[in-house]
A and B are shown apart, each in its own frame.
Chain A
Amino acid sequence: QQQVKQSPQSLIVQKGGISIINCAYENTAFDYFPWYQQFPGKGPALLIAIRPDVSEKKEGRFTISFNKSAKQFSLHIMDSQPGDSATYFCAASIAGNFGNEKLTFGTGTRLTIIP
């Protein structure tokens, strides 16, 4: 079964610090790697995504680092703020006839930013 392994399960970071969440995958056919953010009582929302033709993508305080040879990718949140406290999911999919429909998700990381 295709899997995406995510760590850590939970993370506590001080305000202003850097939050780092890691994911690893096995299927080398994966070619789309999004990160989703989920607040309590809400559905997941796309945060940032990367394709394997680049090693890094940055959007504001959020950066994805991608290591194709190691089959790993990570989310870095710079200058972490209390409003970033949420559960973060990595995912992966294979573009095909139906594009990115078949997402395989990690188990999630519960991030808490403390003052």
Chain B
Amino acid sequence: DTAVSQTPKYLVTQMGNDKSIKCEQNLGHDTMYWYKQDSKKFLKIMFSYNNKELIINETVPNRFSPKSPDKAHLNLHINSLELGDSAVYFCASSRNRGLAGVAELFFGEGSRLTVL
């Protein structure tokens, strides 16, 4: 059973289109994240949700809108896609904030978005 699963794994689309990437985790975690990995492999956080509440928004353009219908799901919708949005988008989850100890992030396999 995949712990953190993302769909689709690959997405090719035209500039100006709107697309969504879905993420689901079956680990019972309360916190979920979206990270973007650019063409130079640099990973940067975009959003974090804890129990369906947005807790981190790293100055991402408002064309990107995360939605968390429940704590096991965090979807990413992107409007008016631009060439610079081409990247690999990783979903991740971790256990609840405030618990003692290290909260390891569990990552999905990534979704490669190509904007033409």
- A, B from the same assembly: no
- By a beta-carbon cutoff of 8 Å, the part of chain A in contact with chain B is none
